[in-house]
Each structure stands twice: as C-alpha cells, then as structure tokens.
Structure 1
Amino acid sequence: MVRIKDLLLGSAAGLAMIGAAQAADLPAGKAVPIEYVRVCTAYGAGFFTIPGTDTCIRLSGRARFEAGYFGSDSRTIPGGGDISGFIGLLRVNMDARTQTGYGTLRAFLRLDAGSRTGNNRIVSGTGNRSAASFPGLGQDQLGRVQNLIAVDKAFVQFAGMTAGRASSFFDFYAHDYEIIAASLGSNVPSTNLLAYTHTFGTGFSTTLSMEDPNFRKNPLYSDAVNATGLVPGQAGLNNVFTTAPTPIILGTNAAGNATAVAFIDAVQRSRLPDFVGSLRYDAPWGSVQLSAAVKDINTGGFIAGSAVSSLLPAPVGPSGPVAPEAAAALLAARGIEAGAQTSYGWAVQGGLKVNLPWIAPGDGLYLQGAYGEGANMYTGINRFTGSYISNGNVYAGNPFNQFLPDAVVDPLSGRLQRATSFTVVASYLHYWSPEWRSAFYGSYGEIGFGKRVRYNTGLANALVGAGPTVAPPSPLTNPLGYVLSPALRDSGQIVAGASLIWSPVKDLDIGIEGQYTRTAVASGRVADSDKGVFVAGVPTRTVSSEEVYQARFRVQRDF
C-alpha cells in the first residue's frame, strides 16, 4: 500500500511540474475590469451613472390606493346607484441627463397604470373620451370598472427646447395641493408639444409653445345631436362621433317658417396647433406666471345629402333637397363661405405662489385666475363636470346638466358664437407639524353663451319642426318650457374642500379629503329632471342650483 501511495504522489507532482512549465510559455492573461455603478452628484440625490456611458439616470416611482364616496340622488338610472369607488395606481419615472457643450441633455419618461372602480368621478368619463383609459365591458362593469395605461410623460429637453409629451406651459397651480384634484382651473398634465424656453435676468423665463389642439377642444354645441331621422342618411346620436349634424336655417317664408335648412358638420377637426406663451419669475419667496393661449374653433362643410327644404307641411318652397351650391350662396350672403368656418378662441391666466415659512416650514399659498372666449379647457370651467362633452351631469340623478361647449353655431345666422368663461382659485397648504399637514382650497367659475344664441337655438326648433330633446324648447310654441330649459343656460360653479394628511415616515402619505360642489344657473330657474315630471311640456318642479359632497381616502408611497 505504501508503494502504491508513493507512486500516485510522484505522478501527481510530475504532472504539476509539466503543467507549470507549459503555462510559463503562454502569454500572461489580464482580468476583465469590472465597472461598478457610480453615484452621480451633478443633478441631485438619487442619480447614478449608467455603466459604460457618461449619462446619469434616476429611477423613481409611486404606489397609490384610494377609496372614495360620492353623493347620488338616484339609484334608478343606469349607473346611478354607485356611491363608492376604489383606485389602485402605479407610476414609474426615469430621468436621464447628460452634460454637453450646449448644457444638459435630458430625457424624462413617466408611465402610469392603474385600475379604477365605481362611478361619479371615481371612474373617469373624461379618461375614456380622451383615450387615456379604457372601460370594462361586462354587465356589472360597464361604466364602473376602468383600467389605464398612460404615457404621461415622454419628452426631451436640450438647449432651451422641450419636445414630446409634457405638461402644458399654460398651466400653473394644476391642483398641486389636492387629492381629488377637481377644483376649477386648467390642468392638462399630458399633451404633445414643442416649446422653447429662454431664461434671462435672475429667475425670469419666457416660453413659446406649440401644443396639440386635440387635448383642448371641448365640443361645439349641436342641437341636432339627439335627433334621429332629422337628417337624411344620419342616425343622430350614433353619428355624433363622426359628424354631429347641426342645422342652419337658410331661408324662411312670410310666416317665418323655414323654407330651406342645411346641416353642417360640427365636429372640430385638427387643423392648427394651439399657441401658448408664458412669462414666469421664480424666487426664494415664490413664483409668478402670466400665460396666454390662442386656439382655432372650426366647423366642417355641408353634410352630403342633408340640405333639405319644405320641412313643414305647408307649401313653403320647392320640394326636394337644396343643392349645396344654393345653400352655399344663401350663406355667402351672410358672409359665411361653404358652411365651413373658423373662429379663434383665446385665454389669459395669471398665477401667484407665495412660500410662507414664517407660518410653518413648507407652508404655501396659490392664487390663480383665468378668463377666455371659446377656450373652456384653458380656463378650466369644466374641470369638475367633465371634459370633451358639450354638457354633462354634475352627479348621478342631478336635477339638470351643466352646458360647457366652446362655441355654438347660431342656427339663424350660421355664425360661430364663442362661449365666455372665467375661473378663480385659492389654495393654502399648512403644516401643523413635520408629520401632519392640511390643504384648504376654494374655486369659483362662470360660463356664459349670450341670450341671442340661446333664443335663436330655441326658435329654430319651431321653424324646423320637431327638434331634439337636448335643445331648448321653442320660445314660440312652448315659452314656459323654453324659460325653464337648462340648455345653454349661463351657470356658475363652486368647488371647495379640505384635507388632512399624515406622513409618519418620509415619502409616505396617509390622508383624507372632503369636497363640496355647488352648480347654479346665473338667473332664473330650470326644470328638475330628477324629482319633477313634465305635463304638456311644462315641468312640475324647478330648481336654481344643485350640490353634492364627496370624500376620498389615500395611501401613497413615493420612492
């Protein structure tokens, strides 16, 4: 055994010597260097250098849960019984920056995804209409369950240029202190734009931005939207998304009856970008901004085959369709060419933010006001009731709808009449202690359409004959019904609320917010469509205002 052991040990030693000798003849190899992730301090906390590049990146995100209550006056209408809702939201941010000879090159990405359930401002009709979310289609889910995957931000900044999907440069306060984020005022956090910002002096900057118009178009009022069979080849409401036929009376007889009516396409097309300009000043005490916007409002031409005559049984003119050329000639006499026309809406806004550390560290106050014509998405008058609709219910089972179109096509003159609106908002954030804070906010806004266009729209129903339900009743055939109709009524709205938020550790918020909303017509009364009934076209119950309460609880973690 000893001999065998010695033999094995000797063989192993010999092999080791041979291997060492051969290895000595090979070139010496170098270990591949390992590049570790390095902290990047040039742009603040959280940035690190992407290995192999000179680009710094910061990854961050958010997880959120919300549960809410929203008042309802009816459990009989579809979707009207929902008073509770839930939200689960995730957010992922990526911020990449590289230093160049022209300054910092930045790319910022933000992806939001979530699930919302319930009704009445928990699930967002605005989100569906703007393609920012998609609804569940089940029997118990339609109108109650909504999912979203939204490219909230995706922009490049370089040498003063911002290009991509970003927040509008018109906006200022944008609900910074709120949970529900429904006070009146402009807030379009995601739009496509190309902008240039120039900084000068100490704290001053000015921006000129060309922005996507599709996120700021509130539909034109069309009193033929709900009319089925009124327009040859059209199906009324089913076609509102493609044509929204709107009548224009081209001629009347001695008795005042319509002899010829043409229908134009009231869907606004994407023709020109919105142009936004702002002047801003930032200082240690706070910020101030003045901004303005100009946008186009347009209608299409005549809907093929829709111009008709002799709508009334009396022999008031030649039978059969009115040729588009004849309709165009009648409109041209009023200075309107071919039915299609363009007007220009505009809005101005001023905002002030004041830091109030002498009350408590972190305290701040926002004041903001906006006024516009044909630019309701810029003034934010429709922020609570809803966007991308010409009229909407304030809550389920409400007595009357609030009307919010950017403009109305006057059926007698054929001209576009812009709506006017304004909003004001104040919001104050106070820290009771480093862990506890509250926000208090209040806003008010008004929208008006002018008595002439409302009267003409109602009058057109009598001239044309049977009209759609959304239009005001005729002041000739149903004067009381006309006076009490909510259609195109000037209105005002108050949205106010308060919150209490606890942050036991950094970047964790646990809070609740309550909100009160009141909507009222500017003068007179309107029919109560919830609790009243109509007898011979006259309502048995009227109101001048409506109000609703809501509350929302939130748990949110940012990192």
Structure 2
Amino acid sequence: MTAIKSVFLATSSTMLLVGGIAQAADLPSRKAAPVEYVRVCDAYGAGFYWVPGTDTCLKVGGRVRIDTWYTPSRNAVQLRSAGGPAYTGAPGGGTASSTFSNSHGVDELGWYARGLLMMDARTQSAWGTVQTAVTLRLAAQTGLAQTAPFVGYNVTPLAMAGATTPIIEAAYIRFAGFTFGQAASNFAFLPSATYHSLWAAGFPNGIRQVSYTALLGAGISASIALENRGDLTTTGTANALGFNPLSPTAATATATSPQRLPALVGNLRVDQAWGSAMLSGVVLQNTANFATPAVQAVTNGLGPLVTRTGWAVGAGVRILLPMLATGDSVVGWVAYGVGSLDYTAIAGLNSNTSLTSNYVGGFLRVDRNMTVYCVGAGCPAFGVEQAKVLNLAGIFTHYWTPSLRSNLQGTYVRLTPGAVTRSTDWTNGGLSAATGWSVQGNVIWSPVRNFDIGAELSYARVNQTLAGFAGGLPTAVPCTAAAPMCAASVSSGNWTGRVRVERTF
C-alpha cells in the first residue's frame, strides 16, 4: 500500500510539473525582442521615417499630373526652286526640301498623363549626410504632347499615335559636398512656374554629372561640375552646309559630331531672407568631321576632326515680396552664349522643348551649335561658325489668397548664326537669324495642400528672314511665283490654352 501511494504521488507531481511548464510557455517571455515601430525622423524635414533596424531615414512620395491643351494649327510656308516644283526632300546635303504642310494634317490637341515615384534616403556619417535620391517617371502622351509640328518648317504631321515613356528624372548620391548621378544642372536658375515651355534653358529630366558644392557661410555657396552633354537636346552639336556648286561656300555635310569632353559648369549662389541670386557659366567642346568627297577618298570616309570651344554665362535673381502677399516673388534671368544652345535657349521647361510646344513657325534648323563650311570652290579648307544666343526671362508670382495664386512669365530670345551660315540658302543647311518672344499666364487653385487645379493661356511669336539663291547669289526679294527662289521674311505667332490637375503626395 505504501508502494502504491508513493507511485501515485510521484505521477501527480510529474503531471503538475509538466502542466506548469506548458503554462509558462504560453506566457510572454521577458527576453523576447521588442517590436520596432516606424518612428518619425524629423532631422531632414517632414515626411521622413526611420527604416526599422537601420540608421537610415527614408521619404517616399509621388506625383500625378494630367495635362490637356489646345493649339490651333497653322499652314506652313512653301518655297520652290527656280521654275520648278515645290521642294520634297530634307534640308541640307544638297537636297531641296519642302516645308509646306496643310493645317488640316496636323494635331490641335495634346493629352499628357504623368506619374512620378520619388524616394529619398539619408544616413548620417562622420563626413555628413549621405543622400540617395531617385525620381522615376512614367508618361503617357498623344497628339501635340507626343510630337508637336514645327509649323512653318520641318513639319511633323499626324502625331495622333499615343506612347508611354519611362524616364529617370533624378538618380543621384550626395556625400561630403559631392553629387554623383543625374540631378539638376548647375547652370539653370529659373523655376518651373508655368505649364508651357519658354525660350530659356531648363533641364526637366536632370543631367548626369559629377559635381562639388562648397558652403561658404552666410548663405553663400559655390559649385563646379562636369555634366554629360549626351543628356541635352542638341546632342548633334555640329552640322555643315549642304553641297551646292553654285554657292560661294561649296559646302558639304559632315559625317559625325562625336562627344569627346563633358561640359564644365560652375556657379556662385547666395540664399538669404530677401531671396536668392546666382551667377553661372559653362565651357564645352563642339566637334565635327570635315568630310568632302576629296577628303573622304583619302581618309576612309572621315576627314580631320574640327573642334571649337562653346561657352555661356548666366545671371539670375529672385526677390521675395512679402509686402504684397506671403509667397509673392519676382524672378529675373539673363544668359548669353556662343555655341551653347542647350544652356541658353533650346531646352524648355516642363515636358516639351520650345520648338515643339509653342507650335509656331521659325527657328529654321537652329538645331546645332556649330556649322562647318568649305572655303574655296574646290573645298581645300574648312571654315567654322558657332551660333550666338541672347536670352531674357522673368516670372512674377502672386498669391491672391493662401489657396489661389497666379504666375506671369515672359521670355525673349535672339539667335544669330554666323555670317556665312545666314547667307546660305536654307535648302543647303543655312540658318537664319531669329527673334522670338513668349508670354504665359496661369491661375492655380489649391483646395488642399499639394493639390493644384490650374488653367493657362500662352502666346509665342517668331520673326526671321530666310536667305535664298538665284543664279548662285543670295537674293532678298519676296517669295512670289515670279521669284520662287528667294529670301522669305517670316513672322509667325500662335496661342495655346492649357489645363492641368496635379496632386503631390
């Protein structure tokens, strides 16, 4: 009996012990790892959060933009060879060309949908903040938003087909004052205040670069950069006058325009309570190959390399006007360049360049920084000219109420190719001097923060004179049926109405 009692007590003790262990397993352990909740990181501004388990702060955001606009179509100008039919080929290379396009064959509407994803990660180090930023853009466009015609010259009709384009707007790493990757150009100053393009250089997709910025104190900074010219609109920086035996230049086309050196850019900037100001400059190399038939015969198709130095300088100032209303400001910009169209005039702000989005005639083949031409009837040597550009721009921003604002913007540009280029028939690659100006005004309502609904009206105009040839000599007579090979004076203008709905988050 005593033995049975002993076994019973031992069994009961074992069951109690196992039960106690099981209950203890169900209770929270004091040694379990604590849960890491996402915490606000206010060291870099609003929207940053600590990435759990790291020492990195991350901000994730985006933007959706919907644009639609209307621009009335215009008939283009038509030139004819002496006594012959309308030109039908492409300009340059000795091929006559047609510039006529009926207004019924081009678009009048543009539709644009853009989605952006933006990420910004920052980590502190012994050398300061390490920043890594990426902005990806997907854009779907049709009509004028895809390929707007150059009304008057080089017309691209029937651009109704839609397209979706992935673009990297920014992708860079910043560390100890250095920037590596694709970021805003160190030359540009003007903000993107209006919807339509203006004739002042901007870099909406950024530009690949290696740069360094030094903070000098009192809001003063200085930057120096090597920027990739391949990201610019005028990547084919040089061309030649087309072959024409009757022409005094007897020019021929170049074969290639290789990019051999990056652009060297620098600026000096000040940011203070009254506003900001900046001086900037750029030096770049324009290249081409001089390739006449005689030269090509002994150089395997390429002639000697032609190089010239292009440059530009710019100055801008932004003055805050709190005495009018909070947020009011006025911005001014002036730039002058030689052989540097991208940095002074051609690249427009926002989606399209000034040539397409303003949808006016003019700027005939101003698509190159440098022109190569032959010297002498047999082309034993070459001459070189670079285009000059003067640009002026201004923006006035006024807040009628905290949620209602307006922007008024104007630009003026004067493009002047070299003397030989200006006196050469446009069918042989000649470029004319051109003067253009544009005005844009918009009204934007923000019912909530970072949500804009706006409407804009813009007008742009171009004036130029195209040189022609009659019997091998430049002429200056009006284009008529009796004098079809002539100099044509062109004054073309057009307006655009545009609506935008945009939400940034």
Same fold at TM > 0.5? yes
Matched residue SS, 1:401: coil
Q: Does residue 493 of structure 2 align to residue 547 of structure 1?
A: yes
Q: Is the 8 A contact 2:290 2:382 kept in 1?
A: no
Residues 34-113 of structure 1 aligned to structure 2 (within 5 Å): 34-74=35-75, 77=102, 80-113=105-138
Matched residue SS, 2:112: strand
Q: Given the superposition, is the C-alpha separation of residues 287 and 444 from structure 1 closer, same or farther in structure 2, using an over 3 Å criterion?
A: same
Spell out, residue by residue over 1:106-165, the C-alpha distance to the aligned partner (whole angstroms, 9 max, x if none).
11110111211112xx22579xxxxxxxxxxxxx98564232111111111111001111
Aligned to 2:332: 367
Gaps of 5+ in 2: 1-11, 77-100, 150-156, 376-380, 470-477
Q: Is the 8 A contact 1:211 1:274 kept in 2?
A: yes
Structure 1, 186-195 or 273-282: larger mean CA deviation: 186-195
Shift in Å, 1:214: 1.3
Q: Does residue 368 of structure 2 align to residue 405 of structure 1?
A: yes
Matched residue SS, 2:449: coil
Q: Given the superposition, is the C-alpha separation of residues 223 and 437 from structure 1 closer, same or farther in structure 2, using an over 3 Å criterion?
A: same
1:452 to 399, 408, 420: 420
Q: Is the 8 A contact 1:392 1:403 kept in 2?
A: no
Gaps of 5+ in 1: 1-12, 127-139, 225-246, 309-320, 329-337, 459-468, 473-486, 527-531
Aligned to 1:19: 18
* Paired amino acid for 2:228: D
Shift in Å, 1:201: 2.6
Structure 1, 373-382 or 515-524: larger mean CA deviation: 515-524
* Paired amino acid for 1:19: V
Q: Does residue 288 of structure 2 align to residue 299 of structure 1?
A: yes
Shift in Å, 1:68: 0.5
Q: Is the 8 A contact 2:327 2:399 kept in 1?
A: yes
Aligned to 1:505: 448
Whole-Å Cα distance in 1 between the matches of residues 277 and 103 of structure 2?
45
Whole-Å Cα distance in 2 between the matches of residues 393 and 60 of structure 1?
28
Aligned to 1:168: 185
Matched residue SS, 1:470: helix
Percent of aligned pairs with the same residue? 28
Whole-Å Cα distance in 2 between the matches of residues 342 and 540 of structure 1?
33
Spell out, residue by residue over 1:40-74, the C-alpha distance to the aligned partner (whole angstroms, 9 max, x if none).
11111111000000111111111111111112114
Residues 110-509 of structure 1 aligned to structure 2 (within 5 Å): 110-119=135-144, 122-124=145-147, 144-173=161-190, 175-180=191-196, 182-189=197-204, 190-216=206-232, 217-219=234-236, 220-224=238-242, 264-265=254-255, 267-300=256-289, 302=291, 307-308=293-294, 323-324=297-298, 338-381=303-346, 383=348, 395=359, 398=361, 401=364, 403-412=366-375, 414-455=382-423, 457-458=424-425, 470-471=427-428, 487-509=430-452
Shift in Å, 1:27: 12
Whole-Å Cα distance in 1 between the matches of residues 253 and 41 of structure 2?
63
Shift in Å, 1:393: 10
Aligned to 2:154: none
Whole-Å Cα distance in 2 between the matches of residues 452 and 92 of structure 1?
48
Q: Given the superposition, is the C-alpha separation of residues 281 and 349 from structure 1 closer, same or farther in structure 2, using an over 3 Å criterion?
A: same
Aligned to 2:93: none
Q: Is the 8 A contact 2:459 2:496 kept in 1?
A: yes
* Paired amino acid for 1:223: L
Q: Is the 8 A contact 2:241 2:371 kept in 1?
A: no
Shift in Å, 1:551: 1.3
* Paired amino acid for 1:307: P
Q: Is the 8 A contact 1:262 1:327 kept in 2?
A: no
Q: Is the 8 A contact 1:93 1:111 kept in 2?
A: yes
Shift in Å, 1:495: 1.0
Whole-Å Cα distance in 2 between the matches of residues 208 and 400 of structure 1?
32
Whole-Å Cα distance in 2 between the matches of residues 66 and 218 of structure 1?
28
* Paired amino acid for 1:187: G
Q: Is the 8 A contact 1:86 1:116 kept in 2?
A: yes
Q: Given the superposition, is the C-alpha separation of residues 339 and 34 from structure 1 closer, same or farther in structure 2, using an over 3 Å criterion?
A: same
Spell out, residue by residue over 1:239-289, the C-alpha distance to the aligned partner (whole angstroms, 9 max, x if none).
xxxxxxxx598xx9xx9897xx87542x32121010001000010110000
Q: Given the superposition, is the C-alpha separation of residues 361 and 399 from structure 1 closer, same or farther in structure 2, using an over 3 Å criterion?
A: closer
* Paired amino acid for 2:179: T
CA RMSD of aligned residues (A): 3.7
Whole-Å Cα distance in 1 between the matches of residues 248 and 227 of structure 2?
45
Matched residue SS, 1:20: helix
Q: Given the superposition, is the C-alpha separation of residues 262 and 35 from structure 1 closer, same or farther in structure 2, using an over 3 Å criterion?
A: same
* Paired amino acid for 2:366: F
Q: Is the 8 A contact 1:70 1:84 kept in 2?
A: yes
Bigger relative contact order, structure 1 or 2, given CA contacts below 8 A and separation 6+? 2
Q: Is the 8 A contact 2:38 2:49 kept in 1?
A: yes
Shift in Å, 1:325: 6.5
Q: Given the superposition, is the C-alpha separation of residues 19 and 159 from structure 1 closer, same or farther in structure 2, using an over 3 Å criterion?
A: same
Whole-Å Cα distance in 2 between the matches of residues 404 and 327 of structure 1?
24
* Paired amino acid for 2:317: L
Whole-Å Cα distance in 2 between the matches of residues 64 and 24 of structure 1?
58
Shift in Å, 1:541: 11
Whole-Å Cα distance in 1 between the matches of residues 325 and 465 of structure 2?
40
Whole-Å Cα distance in 2 between the matches of residues 27 and 555 of structure 1?
55
Q: Is the 8 A contact 1:74 1:80 kept in 2?
A: no
Structure 1, 19-28 or 192-201: larger mean CA deviation: 19-28
Whole-Å Cα distance in 1 between the matches of residues 217 and 321 of structure 2?
24
Whole-Å Cα distance in 1 between the matches of residues 209 and 300 of structure 2?
42
Aligned residues: 444
* Paired amino acid for 1:36: Y
Q: Given the superposition, is the C-alpha separation of residues 409 and 428 from structure 1 closer, same or farther in structure 2, using an over 3 Å criterion?
A: same
Structure 1, 31-40 or 508-517: larger mean CA deviation: 31-40
Using structure 1 for the length normalisation, give the TM-score.
0.71
Matched residue SS, 1:42: helix
Spell out, residue by residue over 1:302-336, the C-alpha distance to the aligned partner (whole angstroms, 9 max, x if none).
4xxx615xxxxxxxxxxxx98427999xxxxxxxx
Shift in Å, 1:31: 3.0
Whole-Å Cα distance in 1 between the matches of residues 365 and 160 of structure 2?
20
Whole-Å Cα distance in 2 between the matches of residues 188 and 74 of structure 1?
31
